[in-house]
């Protein structure tokens, strides 16, 4: 189980956990076992929980409450190989602080779940295919992962992009993109 917005509350908890889920699905799709891609099913639900550290020998940060149960039910009743999002998380994703243009939400419909009198509305979450922008973002993430000394953040106005060459191949369309990314500290003098 993974949680967002704990122990420190944050307003964009739903967006963060959805990005994690999308990245997990993408990575799982690249893993092969006995010649077949690994398929995972993810359930995402939003709500209040009670938390605490349990145990003395091996302390663990534990979550309790109906939200934990509904999250589990969202996953176990979910369609295999998909990200299944509860109506509560869907509402959060519709708010300005959690919305993201990369998110594509497709209504699955009502799903009966143990512990709920009425069926809960569920959506499938996937990443929109917005073309080159998505590939540029993925390549930039890859660059930042491979070159950990560089970090790009919106709150770092002293940083700017520098050039570094990439070759990105879209496996779905066999299209190759050549582009460059540059990250430079604006506080350093420009060198010829």
Q: Pick from 91, 106, 127: which residue ends a domain?
A: 127
State which residues form the domain around 23.
13-127
Does 99 share its domain with 30?
Answer: yes
User: How far apart are alpha carbons 24 and 41 in whole angstroms?
Assistant: 10
pLDDT surpassing 90 at residue 106: yes
Q: What is the CATH number of the domain that holds 82?
A: 3.30.70.1230
Comparison of pLDDT for 186 and 31, the residue scoring more: 31
Residue 52 lies in a domain: yes
Give the pLDDT of residue 39.
87
pTM of the model: 0.65
Q: Does residue 140 contact residue 152 with C-beta atoms inside 8 Å?
A: yes
pLDDT surpassing 50 at residue 68: yes
Comparison of pLDDT for 18 and 101, the residue scoring more: 18
Q: Does residue 68 contact residue 109 with C-beta atoms inside 8 Å?
A: no
If pLDDT is split at 50, 70 and 90, which confidence band does 191 have? very low
Give the pLDDT of residue 97.
87
Does 43 share its domain with 18?
Answer: yes
Reduced to 3 states (helix: H, G, I; strand: E, B; else coil), residue 67 is: helix
If pLDDT is split at 50, 70 and 90, which confidence band does 140 have? low
pLDDT surpassing 70 at residue 160: no
Comparison of pLDDT for 77 and 182, the residue scoring more: 77
Give the pLDDT of residue 186.
44
Does 48 share its domain with 117?
Answer: yes
pLDDT surpassing 90 at residue 84: yes
Give bridge partners of residue 126 from the DSSP assignment. 104
- The pLDDT of 121-147, averaged and rounded, is 68
Domains held by the chain: number: 2
Residue 152 lies in a domain: yes
Q: How much is the mean pLDDT over the chain? A: 74
Give the pLDDT of residue 136.
62
Give the pLDDT of residue 133.
56
Residue 8 lies in a domain: no
Comparison of pLDDT for 110 and 7, the residue scoring more: 110
Residue 192 lies in a domain: no
pLDDT surpassing 60 at residue 150: no
Tell me what percent of the residues of the chain surpass a pLDDT of 70.
Answer: 67
Q: Pick from 127, 151, 171: which residue ends a domain?
A: 127
CA distances from 161 to 38, 59, 122, 142, 143 (A): 36, 43, 40, 15, 12
Does 64 share its domain with 49?
Answer: yes
Does 174 share its domain with 107?
Answer: no
pLDDT surpassing 70 at residue 164: no
Give the pLDDT of residue 87.
92
Give bridge partners of residue 104 from the DSSP assignment. 126
- The pLDDT of 156-180, averaged and rounded, is 44
Q: Pick from 82, 101, 127: which residue ends a domain?
A: 127
Nearest by Cα to 21 from 125, 174, 98: 125
């Amino acid at each position: 189980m993974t949680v967002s917005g704990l122990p420190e509350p944050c307003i964009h908890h739903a967006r963060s956990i959805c990005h994690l889920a999308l990245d997990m699905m993408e990575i799982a799709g690249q893993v092969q076992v006995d010649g077949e891609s690994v398929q995972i099913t993810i359930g995402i639900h939003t709500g209040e929980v009670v938390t605490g550290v349990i145990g003395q020998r091996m302390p663990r940060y534990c979550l309790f409450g109906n939200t934990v149960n509904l999250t589990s039910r969202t996953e176990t009743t979910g369609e295999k190989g998909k990200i299944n999002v509860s109506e509560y998380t869907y509402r959060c994703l519709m708010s300005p602080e959690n919305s993201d243009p990369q998110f594509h939400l497709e209504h699955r419909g009502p799903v009966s779940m143990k512990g709920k009198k009425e069926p809960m509305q569920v959506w499938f979450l996937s990443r929109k295919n917005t073309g080159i922008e998505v590939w540029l973002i993925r390549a930039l993430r890859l660059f930042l992962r491979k070159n950990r000394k560089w970090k790009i953040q919106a709150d770092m106005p002293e940083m700017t992009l520098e050039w570094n060459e990439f070759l990105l191949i879209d496996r779905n369309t066999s299209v190759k993109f050549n582009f460059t990314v540059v990250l430079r500290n604006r506080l350093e003098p420009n060198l010829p």
